[in-house]
Amino acid sequence: MLTDPTLPAAAELLALLTTTGTEPRPDHQLEALALAVAADLPVLLWGEPGIGKTATLNQLADGLGLPLTTVIASVHEPSDFAGLPVVGDDPAVQGVPMAPPDWAVKLVRTGHGLLFLDELSTAPPAVQAALLRVVLERRVGALRLPDGVRIVAAANPRSSAADGWELSPPLANRFVHLQWAFEHDVVVRGLGGTWPRATLPRLDAAGLPQAVARARRAICGFLEARPTLVHRLPDSETRRGGPWPSPRSWDMTLRLVAFAVAAGTSREVLSMLVRGTVGDGPGLELLAFIDRMDLPDPESLLADPGSAILPERGDLRQATLDGVVEAVRKRPERARWDAAWAVLVRALETGAPDLVVVPASTLASLRRDDWSVPAAIERLAPVVTLSRRVGASR
């Protein structure tokens, strides 16, 4: 009996098309997602339909060696997460247990896995309310999900979601929100058969206590300076469905900062995570505060200006020079004034000349009548003069 060879050939062709490889490749989005998963925090990926959120989760699960369990939130009832009541022989004595769905039972049996809650923004408010317990307490019905289970969700913006709802503030405040966008090069290379490899961040075991101490110092120091940001519920419904500051989200931020420090994460990745937890405004303020924590001590620079090591980044170098001038203004002494000029010369020799113009002008205004002009000013005079000429010609 002859068989049609079309179907076997089609199956072979499909197998070839779905066989892809991976490669180590810098990907800030994927790195931020992997770090949040390592920190055991629920993550919510926001992005337009069709840009690869689901495919990313499949790659992440494969890269981490975790079985992936996908639950489409929008097609479930609240009882699918809260559990179905099962009446026993004597409910007055034994109570009425809440039976969990099969996917939760399988996760408990496996002991680990990646739970993917898809289409979260199209789930009705009653289902979102039932999901609160899953995300916060990790309970589905009468079962508690094992510690080895990580939770990631995905949602489309309301403008592109069919019959979508804004997330309720209690549910939104329990997620790390990551804005997901496709990168042209990644898509082209992936369609060619090679996708970025998802790996958990390597944590410096010897530096874990220092990472925790640094994270606590950053968050506590920032909130001491900005007490109104401890809890700020946004006014608009749309913003309430995203990241916003609360004691809960600051606790999540502290964990992420500690993990980022221990992993040596880039500032771009840390920015995505921090802004995705407490919002853009508070997140950017926190990043600026962390940057200032890394600035050299002005008094150390004044004590040994010849050996001064200044930040490479222009904004941090500018802040450092401003700090040196401010230190002299607070305690004006001839020796300190001369040392500050030496620091500015050092900055001129090792970086962009325009960064010394404003500090030099401010420092010059602090001169006392009995202070002679140091020779170092001659090195700075051309830069300051040129800047003034450019400003006058505008």
pLDDT in tens, 178-224: 998 888 888 888 888 888 877 778 899 999 999 999 999 999 999 99
pLDDT given for residue 89 in this prediction: 60
Instruction: Answer yes or no: is pLDDT of 61 > 80.
Output: yes
- pLDDT average, residue stretch 295-320: 87
How high does pLDDT run on average in the chain? 86
Instruction: Answer yes or no: is pLDDT of 394 > 50.
Output: no
Domain ranges within the chain, ordered by starting residue: 24-87+96-196, 205-293, 298-393
Q: Which superfamily does 24-87+96-196 belong to?
A: P-loop containing nucleotide triphosphate hydrolases (3.40.50.300)
Distances (CA, A) of 82 to 103, 127, 180, 346: 13, 9, 29, 65
Of these ranges, 146-160, 166-180, 191-205, 252-266, the one predicted with the greatest mean pLDDT is: 252-266
pLDDT given for residue 275 in this prediction: 97
pLDDT given for residue 18 in this prediction: 84
Q: What is the pLDDT of residues 87-132, one digit of tens each?
A: 666 665 556 667 788 889 999 999 999 999 988 888 888 888 888 8
Q: What is the pLDDT of residues 171-190, one digit of tens each?
A: 999 999 999 888 888 888 88
CA distance 342 to 306: 7
- pLDDT average, residue stretch 25-42: 91
Residue 44 and residue 177 in contact, taking contact as beta carbons nearer than 8 Å? yes
CA distance 186 to 259: 26
Instruction: Answer yes or no: is pLDDT of 345 > 70.
Output: yes
Helices 247-263, 28-38: inter-axial angle, 10-degree rounding:
110
Residue 372 and residue 334 in contact, taking contact as beta carbons nearer than 8 Å? no
- pLDDT average, residue stretch 274-297: 92
Instruction: Answer yes or no: is pLDDT of 376 > 90.
Output: no
Least confident among 13-22, 50-59, 261-270: 50-59
pLDDT tier, 49 (very low <50, low <70, confident <90, very high otherwise): confident
Confirm whether pTM is higher than 0.95. Answer: no
71 φ/ψ sector (left φ>0, alpha ψ -120 to 50, else beta): beta
Residue 141 and residue 83 in contact, taking contact as beta carbons nearer than 8 Å? yes
pLDDT given for residue 374 in this prediction: 78
pLDDT given for residue 119 in this prediction: 87
- pLDDT average, residue stretch 48-75: 85
pLDDT given for residue 81 in this prediction: 84
% the chain with pLDDT above 70: 90
